Chains A and B, each alone.
Chain A
Amino acid sequence: MERRKRSGSVKLFIILGFLLSIVGHLSALSITVNDVECVYEYVLYEGDTVSGNFVVVDHDIFWSSDHPGLDFTVSSPGGNTVHSLKGTSGDKFEFKAPRSGMYKFCFQNPYSTPETVSFYIHIGHIPNEHDLAKDEHLNPINVKIAELREALESVTAEQTYLKARDARHRRTNESTRKRVVLYTMLEYLVLVAASSLQVVYIRRLFSKSVAYNRV
């Protein structure tokens, strides 16, 4: 009885240790996309929720309009596209993985200017009743803890998205400020130059060397 109880609690520790190590997630990473950039992530269990977001941080575009955005595709290990977004400058995504395996997340830049993408991918697993039934040492409380952790992860993901968007917004604002000052100074110079050219032209019209009383 004593030995069985000890091996039972050891099993519990093993299971919980396994669960502990599954807290896997990345912080927001940035990558520069020239043409196509792909990132691979391994999904351990079928039915896991893969969630994430990405924001395109514009490079300083001075003359042309805003970059139209990137194309984003997620391919399953079988090769078919699970999720795709076209021409966005940032979005959130979430889907249930149909099977386990290596998933491919690709960013495609249809234009020649390189863009920097800041992305965040999280794969969340909540042990369901099937896992509970398989292993009697898995407590329902572990399910609740996993659900809580997933909810907190979603808040963290949202914050990462907000931070990336805030960074892009700040870049736009700073570029606007620089442009405003530059264009205003240019306007002053052009104004002064135009009026002095006018004066010089009128003086020349009335100067004796051109022709006497031609005016």
Chain B
Amino acid sequence: MSKRFGIVVVLILGILSPLLVQSLRFDIQSGHTKCIAEDIKSNAMTVGKYSIVNPNEGHPLPESHKVTVRVTSTYGNNYHYGDNVQSGQYAFTAAEAGDYMACFYAIDHKPVTTITIDFEWKTGIAAKDWTNVAKKGQIDVMQLELKKLEDIVQSIHDEMFYLREREEEMQELNRATNSRMGWLSFLSLCICFSVAGLQLWHLKTFFERKKLL
């Protein structure tokens, strides 16, 4: 009974945790655009949340503080679009690997105001919903912490494999460039000789024709 109550408390705190989870803040001036990009692997879960920070506490946000948000992939596919909003969130599974861009455009306003946006973008294991895991498994909070650590270790392991693959690709690329450079230099030597030979032959026949040689 107390265990279930404890899990409920954890869930409530999980819902309240946007107050506690760290997020990034940046400023945009009215009429300007700022884009933040992130490199996401294919089939990775990603979650993003953005909201405009209220400059005066207690009063509602002024109408001039609105942004248009667009999240696109490298190939131009649109994953999220928020038009003239003050906060929002998006979640999707990345179909293509590559750089995903979240662009914020602050709407035009005559006295140029600076809008502060609170933004959070989590990918991969950080995007996993731990409160659901806790609820489903009915497990101890300590076990949840340790499960999180296990997931982090697994992701580190996968990342090492990915880095190793990339390094191999790069080595292949370098080796190919090296051999290509060798062939091109050899070809340049051949062209040099053949052009010189052609010149000599052409001038010889030319002078013989002109009866000068």
Contact = CB atoms under 8 A, between A and B. Distances in A.
B145 A159 contact: no
A13 B163 contact: no
Interface in B110-169: 116, 120-124, 126, 130, 141-142, 144-146, 148-149, 152-153, 155-156, 159-160, 162-163, 166-167, 169
B27 interface: yes
A176 B156 contact: no
B36 A149 contact: no
Interface in A19-73: 19-32, 37-42, 44
B180 A181 contact: yes
Contacts of A81: none
B37 A31 contact: yes
A206 B121 contact: no
Most A C-beta atoms less than 10 A away, residue of B163, B184, B196: B184
B96 interface: no
A187 interface: yes
Contacts of B89: none
A10 B2 contact: yes
B95 interface: no
Interface in B7-44: 7, 9-10, 12-14, 16-17, 20-27, 34-39
B59 to A, nearest CB: 21
Nearest to A6: B2
Interface in A81-111: 102
A61 B208 CA distance: 52
B202 A29 contact: no
B75 interface: no
A113 interface: no
B92 interface: no
B188 A184 contact: yes
Contacts of B207: 206
Contacts of A209: none
Contacts of A13: 5-7, 9-10, 141
Contacts of B195: 191-192, 195
A14 B13 contact: yes
A29 B36 contact: yes
A188 B185 CA distance: 10
A199 B204 CA distance: 11
A29 B180 contact: no
A29 B9 contact: no
Contacts of A38: 26-27
A155 B156 contact: yes
Interface string A181-215: 10010011001100100110011001000000000
Contacts of B167: 166
Interface of B: 2-3, 5-7, 9-10, 12-14, 16-17, 20-27, 34-39, 99, 116, 120-124, 126, 130, 141-142, 144-146, 148-149, 152-153, 155-156, 159-160, 162-163, 166-167, 169-170, 173-174, 176-177, 180-181, 184-185, 187-188, 191-192, 195-196, 198-199, 202-203, 206-207, 210, 212
30 contacts: A12-B6, A13-B10, A13-B141, A16-B145, A17-B13, A25-B22, A26-B24, A27-B121, A27-B122, A30-B38, A30-B39, A30-B99, A31-B34, A31-B37, A32-B35, A40-B24, A42-B23, A44-B22, A118-B39, A141-B142, A152-B153, A156-B152, A159-B163, A166-B166, A173-B170, A177-B176, A181-B184, A184-B184, A191-B191, A202-B203
